[in-house]
């Protein structure tokens, strides 16, 4: 793993440096997730696209740091750390909680008077305006673990290991609190194109909730459904890489599985 000098090393990780790439893909992990979730995508896209992935406080090598429980504050910190790297066109990619973060970071880029991201890819997350009365961050540990196990995005052996759970649960609970207390600004819209990716069997996102991203962009919004549950993209890295390649080249994203 290498860290480009312009990126804050605590916040952004580059697993496959691509200094000649004309486009950078900034990736935001899901609740409880870490930068390494995007390693397969980085491998698939290098050297055409340089992938950088956010590493939030409270997990892996940052486990001693307090978890940021405000999504707005987490977005601000991610943006400030990413800002020096906005020296080339940037596509923002977020999965689940990361999709909301990518959206909020895009608005911060706009507020700073910088060139807007070339594209926003929102994966596995209902639109910012679609709220549910979720209270996962308040669940007892056993129920929270059962919920995470049902989503099939975390190694089952880790969920069965008490020592691993002691490291995982604080970040997971804090991230869920950030998501569940988040409220969007209805006056704001992403100024560019958006691609929404959703799993056909995702219990966290309905088709209508995915389509509602159209309320949050002034550019075109494509909604693409892929077979699978909440973590459908983990099994479709090549398809996601092809889609990102289209976006990075300025082409209209093709249908999944083409």
Active site members: 96
CB of 26 closer than 8 Å to CB of 14: no
Distance between CA 129 and CA 237 in Å, rounded? 28
Distance between CA 100 and CA 123 in Å, rounded? 10
Sign of the Cα pseudo-torsion (13, 18, 20, 25, in order): negative
């Amino acid at each position: 793993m290498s860290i480009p000098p312009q990126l804050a090393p605590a916040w952004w990780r580059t697993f496959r440096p691509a200094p000649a790439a004309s486009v950078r893909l900034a990736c935001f992990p899901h609740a409880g997730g870490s930068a390494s979730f995007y390693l397969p995508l980085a491998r698939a896209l290098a050297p055409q696209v340089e992938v950088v992935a956010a590493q939030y406080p409270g997990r892996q090598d940052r486990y001693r740091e307090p978890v940021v429980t405000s999504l707005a504050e987490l977005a601000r910190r991610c943006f400030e750390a990413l800002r020096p790297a906005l020296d080339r066109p940037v596509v923002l990619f977020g999965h689940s909680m990361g999709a909301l973060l990518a959206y909020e970071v895009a608005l911060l880029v706009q507020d700073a008077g910088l060139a807007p991201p070339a594209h926003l890819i929102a994966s596995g997350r209902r639109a910012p305006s679609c709220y549910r009365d979720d209270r996962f961050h308040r669940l007892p540990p056993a129920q929270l673990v059962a919920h995470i196990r049902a989503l099939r995005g975390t190694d089952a052996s880790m969920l069965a290991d008490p020592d691993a759970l002691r490291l995982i649960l604080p970040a997971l609970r804090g991230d869920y609190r950030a998501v569940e207390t988040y409220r969007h600004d209805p006056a704001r819209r992403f100024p560019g194109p958006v691609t929404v990716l959703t799993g056909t069997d995702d219990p966290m996102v309905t088709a209508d909730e995915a389509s509602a991203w159209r309320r949050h962009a002034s550019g075109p919004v494509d909604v693409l459904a892929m077979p699978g549950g909440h973590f459908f993209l983990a099994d479709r890295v090549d398809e996601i890489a092809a889609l990102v390649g289209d976006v990075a080249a300025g082409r209209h994203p093709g249908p999944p599985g083409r």
